[in-house]
Amino acid sequence: MSRLPVMATKRVLTSSNSDNSHDLAPVQKKLRKDLEPHRPQTAATVIGDKRPPAAATRAPLYKSVRGAGAATVAAGPSRAVLKQPAASTAPKGSASIKQPVGAKTGGTGAPRRQAWDLKGKVSDMEGRIRNYQTRVKSANEENEVLKGSVVQSQSRVAELEKKVEAQTSKISQYEVELQALSEVQNELQKVSNEKSCLEKTLSNLEENYKAMETLRNSQEIELQSLKMKLSVQESTIDRLQTTLRDTEEEVHSLKETVVQQKDEIHAGEMERRQLHNTIQELKGNIRVFCRVRPLVDGGLSNHIQLAASDDKSIMLAKTEESHTGKNTETQKNYHFSFDRVFGHQASQQEIFEEISLLVQSALDGYNVCCFAYGQTGSGKTYTMEGEEVDDSRGVIPRAVQQIFRAGEKLKSQGWEFTFTASFVEIYNETLRDLLYTGKSSKRPEHEIRKTSNNEVTVTNLTYKKVYTEDQVFDLVDLAKQNRATAQTAQNDRSSRSHSVFQLQIEGANAGRGVKCKSILCLVDLAGSERMMKSQSQGDRFKEMTSINGSLSNLGIVITALANKESHIPYRNSKLTYLLQDCLGGNSKTLMFVNISPELDSFGETLNSLRFASKVNDCVIGTASSNRK
């Protein structure tokens, strides 16, 4: 500490001070003792404190009266003052020292005077007095010197005391300062502690800072990459937005186009319906197609000839023996023409192509009725139902397929269709539900009624909602089974009953507020063959009458419709009554006349063709030139 020298100074000063006081005291005492030779013991003690060895060695020079006391005084004076008298006295003393030989020395070695030598003794004493006087003189001189030195020392002491005082006040001042400084030091310590604490905190903070900096650097890099990504994405978004705007505009214009086109399509569809209907009407609302069944071996018999020029004419030729002349044979030709005549090679597909136009009419909201007329075995069921194999499938499955598919297509134009199927057999003017699945003992009876909407309906009949083609095919299968059951119970029943498949079609275009409702009827009629009167007895007679009645009534109704007669005798037979809705108004009717190619069926074939021709003539309104 910077304060240490101050302390040292203080100590030095203090000791010099005390030394001074000690130094002075023995000098004064010594002077007093020199003057008191009878108490050399005390003087010897004081001076001995200063220089004991020197005094001891010099002591033997003189011997005081009391021995040790004189020796002590001789040894006592300090260097400068006492030496001189000792030296100067020596020569003087040598004379007195000279003792007569044989004289005894008294105690300290000096020659002893004989008791009688009083003179000598006085001379010795005088010598000794002189010696003492010299010594007193020199002691006085020394004392004077010492007095001066004492005064000097005293002034110096005073001076030093003053200095000491000044130093003491300085010291106390310094002490105050020191105190203040120690406080400052404490403060400094505190501050330094605080500093080290802060330094620690700082280093922590620095570490933290470094870590944060590292983090910040990495985040800045990340930020940079994110910024780049962002800018890339922003440009992508910009591009996409532009594209989106373009696309939106495009979509907007396309939507407008779509709306426009939908309107156009709808208008086109309506126009198509109208034109289709017009064409169908021009073709005739009642059309007759003739179909010739192939011979069992696949060929065609000679008596049936189809015109090569067109597909509308058929000729039956019969060679008869003349009633009058021998060997004369007359050939009678029966010419018929229909809307279409199909030969034995015509496939199911070709047949259906002609009917498909009418099926389309059914979807357009027109009632459509398709009959198969002809004698038993002429191919009615084959034409209407066909066989399971795809190519051999008949009109019913194909029509159903077409209707479902067309209905599906019309969905895109906003059309929704519901289809309801029913299958009825009419035998002996009695209705039988061919879709019945309950117990045969609980078969309900059916009656044809008119609803409040003046629509024909059959009581207790199964009206099955269908959504797929397969469902309809399943129903056709079910009808076949029901007919087969009846067939075994009653031989050849199917040929003596009509079977009527009806598909009610309801369409709605909610967007345009348009609705349509129609019925597609596909009828497999009972065999048209006539019985010999002799064979027609009992049930057979009843059947015959019934069949003939309903078939002839069908002819009558069709004719009446074609002639636009005020009264149409629908109610004369169950068949015409059931088909009332399908036959009147705007409905389209197609009649297949199926004929067998065998020669022995000639009569029935001719009858069938005549019946069909009558229907056909009615429609075209012109007398058939072919009729014979």
User: What is the binding site for ligand ADP (CB under 6 A)?
Assistant: 293-294, 374, 376-382, 495, 594
- When the beta carbons of 63 and 380 are compared against Mg ion, the nearer one is 380
* Vertex 423 angle, CA 418 and 426, to 5°: 145
Q: Which does 135 bind (CB under 5 to 8 A by kind): Mg ion, ligand ADP, none?
A: none
Q: Give residue number: closest CB to ligand ADP.
A: 379
Sort strands 304-306 and 313-321 into parallel, antiparallel or unpaired. antiparallel
CB of 526 to Mg ion, least distance (A): 9
CB of 291 to ligand ADP, least distance (A): 7
- One-letter amino acid identity for 311? D
CB of 503 to Mg ion, least distance (A): 20
Q: Which does 507 bind (CB under 5 to 8 A by kind): Mg ion, ligand ADP, none?
A: none
DSSP 124-164: HHHHHHHHHHHHHHHHHHHHHHHHHHHHHHHHHHHHHHHHH
Distances (CA, A) of 92 to 79, 111, 126, 395: 21, 16, 12, 194
Per the structure block, which two tokens stand in for 406? 């067309």
Per the structure block, which two tokens stand in for 60? 């033997």
Q: DSSP state, 67? A: B
Helix residue ranges per DSSP H, 490-563: 538-562
- When the beta carbons of 168 and 376 are compared against ligand ADP, the nearer one is 376
CB of 516 to ligand ADP, least distance (A): 33
DSSP 544-560: HHHHHHHHHHHHHHHHH
Per the structure block, which two tokens stand in for 426? 């009419």
Distances (CA, A) of 437 to 166, 432, 453, 622: 146, 12, 29, 48
Sort strands 340-342 and 286-292 into parallel, antiparallel or unpaired. parallel
Per the structure block, which two tokens stand in for 579? 């088909």
Helices (H) and strands (E) in the chain, counts: 14, 16
CB of 440 to Mg ion, least distance (A): 22
* Spatial separation of the C-alpha atoms in residues 263 and 256, rounded to whole Å: 10
Cβ–Cβ < 8 Å for 169, 176: no
* Spatial separation of the C-alpha atoms in residues 358 and 592, rounded to whole Å: 13
Describe the crossing of helices 348-363 and 395-410 by its angle, rounded to 10 degrees: 40
CB of 277 to ligand ADP, least distance (A): 30
CB of 491 to ligand ADP, least distance (A): 14
Quick check: 383 binds Mg ion (CB under 5 A)?
A: no
Segment lying near Mg ion (by CB under 5 A), choices 115-123, 194-202, 374-382, 572-580: 374-382
- When the beta carbons of 472 and 523 are compared against Mg ion, the nearer one is 523
Q: DSSP state, 388? A: S
- When the beta carbons of 381 and 546 are compared against Mg ion, the nearer one is 381
Cβ–Cβ < 8 Å for 555, 438: no
- When the beta carbons of 366 and 382 are compared against ligand ADP, the nearer one is 382
Quick check: 528 binds Mg ion (CB under 5 A)?
A: no
CB of 297 to ligand ADP, least distance (A): 11
- When the beta carbons of 141 and 492 are compared against ligand ADP, the nearer one is 492
Count of CA atoms in the C-beta half-sphere (13 A) of 388: 3
Segment lying near Mg ion (by CB under 5 A), choices 10-18, 109-117, 378-386, 590-598: 378-386
Phi, psi of 623 (to 5 degrees): -70, 135
- When the beta carbons of 351 and 431 are compared against ligand ADP, the nearer one is 351
* Spatial separation of the C-alpha atoms in residues 434 and 461, rounded to whole Å: 9
Q: Which does 293 bind (CB under 5 to 8 A by kind): Mg ion, ligand ADP, none?
A: ligand ADP
- When the beta carbons of 138 and 378 are compared against Mg ion, the nearer one is 378
- Binding track over 260-289 against Mg ion, x by CB under 5 A: ------------------------------
Q: Which does 113 bind (CB under 5 to 8 A by kind): Mg ion, ligand ADP, none?
A: none
Count of residues of this chain found to bind Mg ion when the rule CB under 5 A is applied: 2
Q: Which of residues 81-120 bind Mg ion (CB under 5 A)?
A: none
Q: Which residues pair with 105 in a beta bridge?
A: 111
CB of 593 to ligand ADP, least distance (A): 11
- One-letter amino acid identity for 485? T
- When the beta carbons of 298 and 538 are compared against ligand ADP, the nearer one is 298
CB of 432 to Mg ion, least distance (A): 16
CB of 476 to ligand ADP, least distance (A): 15
Please pick, from the candidates 381, 589, 601, 605, the single residue that binds Mg ion as defined by CB under 5 A: 381
- When the beta carbons of 300 and 478 are compared against ligand ADP, the nearer one is 300
- When the beta carbons of 471 and 487 are compared against Mg ion, the nearer one is 487
- When the beta carbons of 131 and 494 are compared against Mg ion, the nearer one is 494
Segment lying near Mg ion (by CB under 5 A), choices 44-52, 282-290, 315-323, 372-380: 372-380
Cβ–Cβ < 8 Å for 553, 333: no
* Vertex 475 angle, CA 354 and 459, to 5°: 100
- When the beta carbons of 518 and 601 are compared against Mg ion, the nearer one is 601
CB of 380 to Mg ion, least distance (A): 5
Quick check: 497 binds Mg ion (CB under 5 A)?
A: no
Burial class of residue 321, CB neighbours in 10 A (0-12, 13-18, 19+)? exposed
- When the beta carbons of 381 and 573 are compared against Mg ion, the nearer one is 381
* Vertex 500 angle, CA 499 and 503, to 5°: 150
Q: Which does 608 bind (CB under 5 to 8 A by kind): Mg ion, ligand ADP, none?
A: none
Q: Which residue in the block uniquely carries the two structure tokens 């569809």?
A: 269
At residue 305, the 3 state secondary structure works out as: strand
Q: Which does 365 bind (CB under 5 to 8 A by kind): Mg ion, ligand ADP, none?
A: none
Q: Which does 377 bind (CB under 5 to 8 A by kind): Mg ion, ligand ADP, none?
A: ligand ADP
CB of 385 to Mg ion, least distance (A): 8
Entry field: residues in the chain: 628
CB of 611 to ligand ADP, least distance (A): 15
Binding residues for Mg ion (CB under 5 A): 380-381
